Amino acid sequence: MPFLRRYITAFMAALVLAIPVPAQQKGADIRLRTVVIDPGHGGKDPGCVSRDGKTQEKNITLDIGKRLAQKIAASYPDVEVRMTRTEDVFVELENRAVFANKANANLFISIHVNAVEKGSTANGYSIHCLGQSQRKGNDLYSKNLDLVKRENAVIMLEDNYEAKYQGFDPNDPQSSIIFSLMQNAHLGNSLAFAEDIANAMGNKPIRNSRGVSQDPFWVLWRTAMPSVLVEVGFITNPDDLATMRSPEGRDAIASNLLKAFSVFKVRYDGSSPEEGQPAVTPAPAQPEEQAKPAEPQPQPQPEKMQEEGPLYGVQVLVTSKEMDPKDPFFCGYKPVMVKAGRMYKYIIGTSHSLKEVKKNYPKYQQKFPDNFIVKIENGSTTPVR
């Protein structure tokens, strides 16, 4: 596997040299100051095309992206909104991530449209975060094989892509082994924002939700901030296509994404919009804040939590896999695990004293850059500012 050997070396170099440290880790304030919106495809890359050939993905994503940018700018004048493209031009996949990293973005939203080769019944929107799918016996692509291959295949339209991507082949599942080496730093917040989007989208204007999943998309792997890829609907489905062809439908999708952004930003830095859409109530997903945590303790029993009141701690990981408490990731700390739907949240440094947790918080920052204080009560967690 010469490709893997070469790529592991390149990967480690990229972590040190190519991906800048997010602002929150540089000692800067924790406000969400920059969001990058990435309208998928463009220029010579049309993306998915409708059956009648009249509608192209690149135009839908650009229009929704522009509408979302305008809405965020109107609601949050203090947030800088950047777009990887504002016209019909081709932007290389790698450059989309580089653009977001250079902008020191706090959030990356990539907008796409889905399709199937045959039939027209597949419909609905889906939200994707970085990761390997979890289906037993197929930990590379699972059910989203065709979607992942199609989105990553944009690489092949680029000049000299073989050298630039060091042998990565979008059509070879073995190539995606590199994603098992990814950083976990922003996964929790990415999943939280993905859930925010799912809640905000609801059943209008696109009726069907296909849920949140983790998949190995190159553009998400290369971004150094919370990142999601949204497939807003199926261009091969008549109902979804009618919605996406309609200005009102595209505007409604953009408004839903703004609602999700509002929820995420309140969780990130506590600020609400000055004007614009009301926020939706977030699901019990993962937030993004920086408070102050505590020291490791054995996992408490639910009965004890109820008797002594709420427990506080530092959430350091959310994942779709159940982890071994002795996993090296936890650096010797004994985590408390709280199950939320299909996700597992891991909290360290637990104490019934919030003051104690805040006092001990600084010692976790270096080992767990994506962390925040939570309150554990009645089997669920809520962020603490």
- Nearest CA to 194 out of 241, 244, 139, 125 is that of 125
254 and 312 co-located in one domain = no
User: CB under 8 Å to 4, separation ≥6 — which residues?
Assistant: 174, 177, 178
Is residue 214 within 8 Å of residue 320, measured between CB atoms? yes
d(CA 57, CA 215): 20
Residue with tokens 């599942």: 173
Is residue 267 within 8 Å of residue 78, measured between CB atoms? no
Q: Is the bond into 282 cis (omega within 30 degrees of 0)?
A: no
The CA distances from residue 212 to 221, 251, 342, 369, in Å, are 17, 22, 10, 24
127 and 258 co-located in one domain = yes
- Strand (E) or helix (H) holding 346: strand 343-351
252 and 313 co-located in one domain = no
Q: Is residue 90 part of a domain?
A: yes
Q: Helix or strand or coil: residue 379?
A: coil
Q: Which CATH number fits the domain that encloses residue 200?
A: 3.40.630.40
23 and 147 co-located in one domain = yes
Q: Is residue 278 part of a domain?
A: no
Q: Which CATH number fits the domain that encloses residue 357?
A: 3.30.70.1070
Final residue in a domain of this structure, among 253, 269, 285? 269
Domain interval for residue 251: 2-269
Beta bridge partners of 3: none
260 and 357 co-located in one domain = no
Q: Is residue 91 part of a domain?
A: yes
Per-residue pLDDT of the chain (385 residues; tens, 9 = 90+): 444 444 444 444 443 333 333 434 444 457 899 999 999 999 999 999 999 999 999 999 999 999 999 999 999 999 999 999 999 999 987 788 889 988 999 999 999 999 998 999 999 999 988 765 444 333 334 445 565 555 555 555 556 655 555 555 555 554 444 444 344 557 778 888 999 999 999 999 999 999 888 776 766 667 778 989 999 999 999 999 999 999 999 999 999 999 999 999 988 888 767 543 444 433 333 333 333 444 444 443 333 333 467 999 998 887 767 888 888 888 889 999 998 776 788 899 999 999 999 988 888 877 776 678 889 988 888 888 6
Q: Is residue 279 part of a domain?
A: no
The CA distances from residue 305 to 191, 313, 336, 377, in Å, are 26, 13, 12, 7
User: CB under 8 Å to 48, separation ≥6 — which residues?
Assistant: 56, 57, 113, 114, 115, 150, 235, 236
The region, left, alpha or beta by phi > 0 then psi within -120 to 50, assigned to residue 53 is left
Number of separate domains in the chain: 2
Could you count the other beta carbons within 10 Å of the beta carbon of residue 65? 25
223 and 158 co-located in one domain = yes
**DSSP letter for each residue of 162-207:** HHHTTT--TT-GGGGGGGGG---TTHHHHHHHHHHHHHHHTTSSS-
